[in-house]
Amino acid sequence: MRVGVYHPRSGVTLIAMPIVLFGMRLMEVLFFVGIAGSAIVVVMATWEDIQEISHKTEHGHTVEKTPVT
């Protein structure tokens, strides 16, 4: 007789199966929330990089000139 996870006569699996299914669904939701959050971070970083590249500001000389004596 084969006893597995889906065997109807196993009392432990009948109790544990809804818990396992709930855990699977919870992990799926967390996975997709994580992917969505990562996508938002990539879009924000790309947007900031584009803004930084597009702003053409002239920077003055940062080296101080010493007076000649």
Q: What is the mean pLDDT of residues 17-39?
A: 95
pTM: 0.54
What percent of the chain stands above pLDDT 90? Answer: 43
At residue 1, the pLDDT reads: 47
Model confidence band, residue 54 (pLDDT cutoffs 50, 70, 90): confident
Residue 15 to residue 20: CA distance in whole angstroms: 9
Percent of the chain with pLDDT over 70: 67
Distance CA 18, CA 10 (A): 14
With a cut of 60, say whether residue 10 has pLDDT above it: no
Tokens 């924000």 found at: 44
